[in-house]
Amino acid sequence: MSDPEPKGQIELRTEQRLLELDRAAWQRLEGTEHPFLAWDFLSGLETTGCVSPERGWYPMHLTAWLDGTLVAAAPAYIKGDGMGDFSRDWGYQGALQQLGGHAYPKLVVGIPFSPVTGPRILVAPNFDHSLAARLLMNLAREAARSMELGSIQVLYHSEAEVESLANAGMATRTLMQYHWRNYDYSGPESWLDRLPGRKRKQIRKERRAPASQDIAIETWRHADRVERNASGEGPELDFPDIAFELYRTTCEKYMWGGTYLNRDFFEILFTDPALSQSVELVTAQRPGAGAPAEIVAGAINIASPTHLYGRYWGCHEEHRFLHFNVCLYHSIDECIARGLEVFEGGAGGEHKISRGFEPTLVYHSLWFAQDHIQNALTQALARDADEHRAGIERWKAQNGLDRDRS
């Protein structure tokens, strides 16, 4: 079934800076309510220099216009490597080489430095999503061919977009993340009671650790931060600086890490009126005797009305189980208390399963410039997807989750 053709003149074009697009026009598109897809978040990455040609990111945003009105868009970037995009494209590099192909340079449709799920094809109300996907992917392929790019990658898009992107000629790739889901728990004990006894015992032991270490964990949302600094009780806290220094401790610890974000971007996150309401700082503090509390570790969460997204852990001191408490357990408690449906704790691995998270499929859609490679990998990726789905079904059956929960 073909997509409905709109009445009017369609124009497709790429934009090299998000600032070239009107903020109000972007924010009218469905999907921009996702905090990572807001104009302010994406443009902030560009204006602070975190995303720039000098850093290996060449913005080339895809747009579709109907009679001069923006009706569809996707954040997109040309890249010469996989650094910072969480594409995990090394998984098929061997197959590409055997087939005589290459992935780089590539066009990435996604959110820089953020492996969070959500829509990638942003569409005006009443404009057909399948048509928008077809138009923007046609534009992407035209640009890829003219610039001799090896591939197009649409990263961490929503499950709802799988079909429309496949109909637009993209091959579906599935990967695994581990998400926590809220089954209407009444409190932390309600959640723990659902877990097998061995896991429950271990989690309770880990959750007790901060108290024995004289460490208190709390979440600072926007109103809390404003009230804290307006109260006059103790010195004013520089929340952007606290968050950036914590983030930097992790980036500088690992040889493969990169300090992708700078201090200016954290300033935007915590002070921009359109972003700061969604940004939360989780801190682990050691209370001081007559002195300000000392922050020893922390992480950033970004919230939507239904999801909590964990990002940017860091620590100034190492304490046993502190990472799990700051990045997982405390935020699970927050989700239960606030009625949030899903907690995406980042791109980390299987250790989350023993801490109450569930294996969850996440989706990429791919296109390769050479037809024989596209055909071969489409079939291989479909087989991988079947294996991933079967693996999740086995896990659900083994854990008593083979029936849908509400």
Tens digit of pLDDT for each residue in 104-135?
999 999 999 999 999 999 999 999 999 999 99
404 falls within a domain: no
Pair of tokens at residue 230: 């307006």
Residue 377 reports pLDDT greater than 60: yes
Q: Is residue 393 part of a domain?
A: yes
Task: Provide the domain count of the chain.
Answer: 2
Same domain, 49 and 187: no
Q: What is the pLDDT of residue 92?
A: 83
Domain assignment present for residue 5? The answer is no
Which of 311, 340, 369 marks a domain boundary? 340
What is the model's pLDDT at position 1?
Answer: 52
**Is residue 135 included in any domain, yes or no?**
yes
Asked whether residue 256 falls in the same domain as residue 122, the answer is no
pLDDT tens-place string over residues 182-199: 999 999 999 999 999 999
Same domain? 37 vs 143: yes
Check whether residue 189 and residue 161 sit in a common domain. Answer: no
Within a domain: 4: no
pLDDT for 404 beyond 70: no
Over the stretch 300-347, which tens digit does the pLDDT of each residue have?
999 999 999 999 999 999 999 999 999 999 999 999 999 999 999 988
Task: Judge if 219 and 292 occupy the same domain.
Answer: yes
156 and 195 assigned to the same domain: no
Mean pLDDT of 60-77: 98
Instruction: Assign residue 191 the CATH number of its domain.
Output: 3.40.630.30
Are residues 305 and 365 located together in one domain of the fold?
no
Residue 148 inside a domain? The answer is yes
pLDDT at 2: 63
Examine the domain organization and report whether 107 and 238 are in the same domain.
no
Decide if 406 is inside a domain.
no
With a CB cutoff of 8 Å and minimum separation 6, the contacts of 148 are: 369
Q: Is the confidence at residue 406, as pLDDT, over 50?
A: no
Within a domain: 232: yes
Q: Examine the fold and report which residue of 310, 340, 370 is the final residue of a domain before the chain moves on.
A: 340
Identify whether residues 295 and 386 lie together within a single domain.
Answer: no
Residue span of the structural domain in which 222 resides: 183-340
Q: Say whether both 18 and 142 belong to one domain.
A: yes
| Percent of the chain clearing pLDDT 70 (strictly above) | 95
Same domain, 153 and 222: no
Residue 163 and residue 15 share a domain: yes
